[in-house]
């Protein structure tokens, strides 16, 4: 690859970035062996992302909008939607060890469109990023164990199929089979997770047939469905020792281009597999003063009866705070959620379930296994996610 310059040339931002990448490529290739070229490709992907300018408000026009009335079609919509800015496949659940000890787990794959020039023919253009997080919540450890990865899509390193759920980031994989089950394999830095998830209940389409509002403006929305009551089997390995586990999980798949209102700093979200076979999902979008800009709830009971609840019917009340010794952020780890006159209360499996993803998505958030009470009585298990407590969340 060569670049020719003559005196007086003016380099545009895109040309300058391409020149820098080419020079770095030539220099590095002179000292790196073939066996290390894969690592170089990943590095170049990250470098090119860092050289991209921040997207402006006008850039959002380049992404597909979320609009009401769209009919989700499966298995196509199990797959990736690269025309939209942000997307994630998010699995959380409770596992049980052979000794009967509870362990929470989270595996999330993100796809992010960078907004770079879609007409750029270069294979190195970072048009799509794949990010992944994995975490274990084990009270015997006393804190969250987690790992994270990021890479530009392409070169056999990272990908997200548009046909069905099939996401890859190096050796980290999540794939849906024709029978509806999911296979997850994540060999993380300090532990490994290998799980099979089998549907145990019908899918949930949130909002209006999958069109889920996240703010006062119609464009502040996502396409969103969940698969609760997934039956889990598999193994986790730590310190060279593998143990069998089983349990129940919840899967969210969501994609959007504009989610948060400019006044929003983050959200609180809960997804619970109820003990009667039902499911509960509720969230609120918070402003800078801790108030709710928007909230929503959904409950399906064990008989399959489903109810949706509007913002005026759903409220979140912090009950107990925990302060992170690492970041100084304070989270309401115990929370009351009042939904249409019924009080639901979440209690954490352990307080320290903070995940620092500043090396990938840039966010610090609390993502934890929780027990759910209904009017003071045990009602289920699931996960609570709280973002924007250290600083405002930027998607």
Same domain, 110 and 28: no
Q: Do residue 74 and residue 142 come from a single domain?
A: yes
Indicate the number of domains in the chain: 2
| H or E segment and range at residue 81 | none
CA neighbours within 13 Å on the CB side: how many for 29?
Answer: 9
- Residue 40 sits in the same domain as residue 61: no
Q: Is the pLDDT of residue 23 over 50?
A: no
Rounded to the nearest 5°, which phi and psi values hold at 21? -65, -40
Q: Domain range for residue 332?
A: 57-386
Q: Residue 210: what pLDDT?
A: 96
Residue 181 scores a pLDDT above 60: yes
- What pLDDT, on a 0 to 100 scale, did the predictor assign at position 341? 92
Q: Which two tokens stand for residue 109?
A: 């794959």
Same domain, yes or no, for 94 and 141? yes
CB-count exposure of residue 193 (10 Å: 0-12, 13-18, 19+): buried
In a domain, 257, yes or no: yes
The angle, 0 to 180 degrees and rounded to 10, between the axes of the packed helices 37-50 and 13-29 is 160
Residue 72 makes CB contacts below 8 A (sequence gap 6+) with 205, 209, 210, 223, 225
Of 6, 3, 27, 1, the C-alpha closest to 15 is 3
Q: Side-chain half-sphere of 99: how many Cα atoms within 13 Å?
A: 4
Cα distances from 183 to residues 165, 169, 178, 186, 228, in angstroms, run 10, 14, 11, 10, 16
Pairwise CA distance, residues 234 & 216, whole Å: 42
* pLDDT score at 124: 63
Cα-trace Rg, the chain: 22
Banded model confidence at residue 127, pLDDT cuts 50, 70, 90: confident
pLDDT number for residue 49: 41
Shared domain for 189 and 328, answered yes or no, is yes
Please tell me the pTM assigned to this model.
0.83
Q: Is residue 178 part of a domain?
A: yes
Distance CA 270, CA 286 (A): 14
- Partnered with residue 111 across adjacent β-strands are 87, 130
- Judge whether 393 lies within some domain: no
Report how far residue 272's alpha carbon sits from residue 342's, in angstroms, rounded to the nearest whole number: 15
Q: Does residue 6 lie in a domain region?
A: no
Q: What is the CATH number of the domain that holds 354?
A: 2.40.370.10
Q: Are residues 61 and 46 in the same domain?
A: no
31 and 160: one domain?
no
Whether residues 94 and 202 fall in one domain: yes
**Phi/psi of residue 306, nearest 5 degrees:** -115, 135
In a domain, 1, yes or no: no
Instruction: Kindly list the distances between the CA atom of residue 150 and the CA atoms of 23, 128, 171, in Å, as whole numbers in the listed order.
Output: 23, 11, 12
Judge if 125 and 178 occupy the same domain: yes
The answer to the question of residue 5 being in a domain is no
Q: Are residues 171 and 302 in the same domain?
A: yes
Same-domain pairing of 35 and 105: no
DSSP conformation class of 208: B
CB distance 110 to 132 below 8 Å: yes
Answer whether residue 4 is part of any domain.
Answer: no
CA distance 168 to 164: 12
For 40, the token pair is: 């170089």
The yes-or-no verdict on residue 160 having pLDDT over 70 is: yes
Please list, residue by residue across 197-229, b when 16 or more beta carbons sit within 10 angstroms of its beta carbon and e when fewer do.
bebebebbbbbeebbbbbbeeeebbbbbbbbbb
Same domain flag for 72 and 175? yes
Mean pLDDT confidence for 254-270: 90
Segment 209-226 mean pLDDT = 94
Predicted confidence at residue 61, as pLDDT, reads 64
Asked whether residue 326 is assigned to any structural domain, the reply reads yes
Question: What value does the mean pLDDT take over residues 319-333?
Answer: 96
| Coil, helix or strand at residue 18 | helix
């Amino acid at each position: 690859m060569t670049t020719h310059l003559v005196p007086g040339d003016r380099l545009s931002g895109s040309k300058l970035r391409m020149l820098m990448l080419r020079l770095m490529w030539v220099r590095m290739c002179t000292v790196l062996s073939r066996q290390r070229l894969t690592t170089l490709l990943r590095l170049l992907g990250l470098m090119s992302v860092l050289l991209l300018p921040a997207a402006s408000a006008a850039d959002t026009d380049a992404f597909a909008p979320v609009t009401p009335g769209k009919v989700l079609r499966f298995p196509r919509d199990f797959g990736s939607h690269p025309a939209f800015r942000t997307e994630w496949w998010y699995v959380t659940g409770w596992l049980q060890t052979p000794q009967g000890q509870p362990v929470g787990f989270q595996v999330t794959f993100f796809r992010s469109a960078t907004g770079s020039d879609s007409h750029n023919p270069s294979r190195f253009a970072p048009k799509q990023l794949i990010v992944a997080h994995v975490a274990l919540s084990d009270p015997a450890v006393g804190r969250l164990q987690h790992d994270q990865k990021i890479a530009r899509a392409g070169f056999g390193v990272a990908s997200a199929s548009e046909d069905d759920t099939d996401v890859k980031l190096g050796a980290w994989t999540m794939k849906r089979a024709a029978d509806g089950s999911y296979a997850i394999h994540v060999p993380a830095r300090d532990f490994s997770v290998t799980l099979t998830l089998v549907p145990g209940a019908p899918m949930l389409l949130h909002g209006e047939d999958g069109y889920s509002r996240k703010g006062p403006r119609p464009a502040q929305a996502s396409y969103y469905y969940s698969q609760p009551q997934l039956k889990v089997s598999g193994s986790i390995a730590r310190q060279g020792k593998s143990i069998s586990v089983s349990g129940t999980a919840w899967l969210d798949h969501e994609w959007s281009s504009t989610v948060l209102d400019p006044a929003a700093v983050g959200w609180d979200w809960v997804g619970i597999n109820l003990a009667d076979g039902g499911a509960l999902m509720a969230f609120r979008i918070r402003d800078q003063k801790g108030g709710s800009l928007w909230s929503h709830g959904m409950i399906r009971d064990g008989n399959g009866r489903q109810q949706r609840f509007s913002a005026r019917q759903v409220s979140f009340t912090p009950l107990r705070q925990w302060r992170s010794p690492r970041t100084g952020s304070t989270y309401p780890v115990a929370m009351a959620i009042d939904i249409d006159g019924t009080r639901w209360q979440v209690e954490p499996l352990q307080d320290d379930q903070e995940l620092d993803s500043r090396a990938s998505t840039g966010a610090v958030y609390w993502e934890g296994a929780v027990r759910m009470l209904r009017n003071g009585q045990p009602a289920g298990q699931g996960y609570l996610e709280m973002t924007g407590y250290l600083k405002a969340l930027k998607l």
